[in-house]
Amino acid sequence: MASVAIYLNFAGNTEEAFNFYKTVFGTEFLMPPMRMGDMPAPEGAPAMSEKDKNAVMHVSLPILAGTVIMGTDMLESMGHKLIEGNNVTISLQPDSNADADKFFAALSEGGSEIAPMRNEFWGYWGCAKDRFGIRWMFNVMKAGQ
């Protein structure tokens, strides 16, 4: 069966972010996080530092309605450069305004409100950036929408 996942890149704090998301959504990792040190080193590659070996190579977490978020640490030692911006927004459609308010409050704590939760012509809507720089949008559609 086809599915969609949202992939997020972090500057060394993937594990912290995903442990936080576990508490918000009350879910568990699909499998234990894989570490950079778990993958075979390419031939001729320089040795990894212990810090880089412990960085998250891949993690997967189900959130709502079959949607999965995945993440990795971007390592400068491997030539990666993380640029935070508005290029990733995760759009959630909870079942109720109460659920939207709960997720909005938790995800905006330590982050910032982009647009507070409010009634719009299509339903109940808001947007927040969490403390890890990830944008979250919330929509509870009106009946018949």
- 49-99 pLDDT, tens per residue? 999 999 999 999 999 999 999 999 988 888 888 877 656 889 898 999 999
Please give the average per-residue pLDDT across 115-125, as a whole number.
Answer: 94
CATH assignment, 86-145: 3.30.720.110
Please give the average per-residue pLDDT across 24-33, as a whole number.
Answer: 96
Order of strands, edge to edge, in the sheet holding 34-35? 5-10, 68-73, 56-62, 34-35
CATH 3.30.720.110 in the chain: give the residue spans.
Answer: 86-145
> Which has the closest alpha carbon to 9: 61, 76, 92, 83?
83
For domain 1-78, give the fold: 2,3-Dihydroxybiphenyl 1,2-Dioxygenase; domain 1 (3.10.180)
